[in-house]
């Protein structure tokens, strides 16, 4: 590295080489003394820049890529979360990776997240919202593990979703579904879901020791192979209808206490996707609302209670919701009750 004076400029130039390539830099100085003094400053500047580049490269080596963090995070949550939630985490990361590529966690910024949300939101609003919530929770864990100093997802506001009410069916429509259901175990599952609001995962894992016919209640238990969505056990009262057909089923199969309540072959758990598809096939055959699916039976239970004036707090407890805000989706069904209350004045 040295200083030279070239005919085309009145300023002295610094000549130096980077990876074998000759480069020049103007000193903006017109005297040799000032130019050589500036050279020392320029050399220090280059050294500091190179040092920072090396430091940044070393820092990136110490932080995982998105794929590496995903695998570590999945290993962590696999012990406590349900299979469906694990699948949603895996899908959310895959969608994110397809958008931003294989980069380090430290390279994720609000610009990348905005692009991801805009792209996915244009395809599916609900799906984009699930990805956003899932990834936001994952990167909060990255904060705890000191992989990140800030979670960029916390700085990005998700667009407002179109408000839609959950699809549900009436008791008459349930009877039509049951009439068109060929297998007794499916009829019993559909009926139990409609009159208890239990999730499909809870139904297919239910054992006979969960049911107390004397107290008229079902205890949704956590076992070695199954955990409720909230990781908490809860008690759901049985109506007389539910008690009656479950009692008949018990007498028919004469099971052990730890046998599954609903099964085709004793001791073999039913597959949730198969049941969902069979329900959807029947609903389409009857030309019900296209939005109706198996989870609509849970919505139907809550909707029926709301229409009969049951408080949202009680519905929340029966459904096992963690937050009352989740149960608020049924509040519109109580509007007539509110009007009737005002008319009493």
| Catalytic residue ranges | 199, 229, 295, 298, 321, 330
β-bridge pairing 211-212 and 21-26 = unpaired
Q: What six digits make up the tokens of 149?
A: 């100093």
Residues 6+ apart with CB under 8 A from 120: 95, 99, 127, 128, 131
Cα(190)–Cα(208) distance, integer angstroms = 17
Cα(135)–Cα(137) distance, integer angstroms = 5
Tokens 């239970």 appear where?
Answer: 301
Strands of the 217-220 sheet, one edge to the other: 211-212, 217-220, 234-237
Cα(224)–Cα(222) distance, integer angstroms = 7
Please tell me the number of Cα atoms within 13 Å of 107 on its side-chain side: 16
The distance of Cα 119 from the centroid of its chain, to the nearest Å, equals 18
* Phi and psi torsions of 5, nearest 5°: -110, 125
Q: What does the DSSP 8-state code read for residue 180?
A: T
């Amino acid at each position: 590295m040295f200083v030279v004076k070239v005919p085309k400029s009145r300023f002295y130039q610094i000549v130096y080489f980077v990876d074998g390539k000759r480069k020049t830099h103007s000193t903006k100085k017109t005297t040799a003394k000032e130019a050589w003094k500036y050279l020392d400053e320029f050399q220090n500047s280059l050294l500091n820049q190179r040092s920072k580049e090396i430091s940044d490269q070393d820092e990136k080596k110490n932080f995982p890529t998105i794929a590496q963090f995903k695998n570590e995070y999945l290993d962590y949550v696999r012990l406590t979360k349900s299979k469906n939630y694990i699948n949603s985490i895996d899908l959310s990361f895959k969608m994110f990776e397809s958008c931003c590529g294989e980069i380090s966690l430290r390279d994720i910024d609000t610009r990348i997240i905005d692009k991801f949300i805009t792209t996915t939101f244009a395809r599916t609003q609900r799906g984009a919202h699930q990805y956003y919530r899932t990834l936001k929770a994952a990167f909060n864990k990255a904060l705890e593990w000191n992989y990140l100093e800030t979670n960029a997802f916390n700085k990005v506001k998700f667009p407002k979703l179109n408000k839609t009410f959950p699809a549900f069916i009436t008791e008459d429509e349930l009877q039509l579904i049951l009439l068109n259901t060929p297998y007794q175990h499916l009829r019993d599952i559909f009926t139990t879901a409609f009159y208890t609001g239990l999730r499909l995962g809870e139904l297919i894992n239910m054992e006979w020791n969960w049911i107390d016919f004397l107290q008229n209640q079902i205890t949704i238990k956590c076992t070695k192979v199954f955990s409720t969505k909230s990781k908490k056990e809860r008690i759901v009262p049985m109506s007389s209808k539910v008690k009656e057909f479950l009692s008949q089923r018990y007498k028919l199969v004469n099971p052990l206490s730890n046998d599954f309540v609903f099964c085709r072959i004793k001791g073999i758990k039913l597959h949730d996707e198969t049941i969902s598809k069979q329900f959807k096939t029947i609903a389409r055959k009857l030309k019900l609302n296209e939005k109706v699916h198996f989870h609509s039976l849970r919505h139907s239970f809550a909707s029926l209670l709301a229409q009969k004036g049951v408080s949202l707090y009680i519905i929340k407890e029966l459904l096992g919701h963690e937050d009352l805000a989740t149960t608020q989706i049924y509040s519109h069904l109580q509007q007539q009750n509110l009007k009737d209350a005002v008319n009493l004045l």
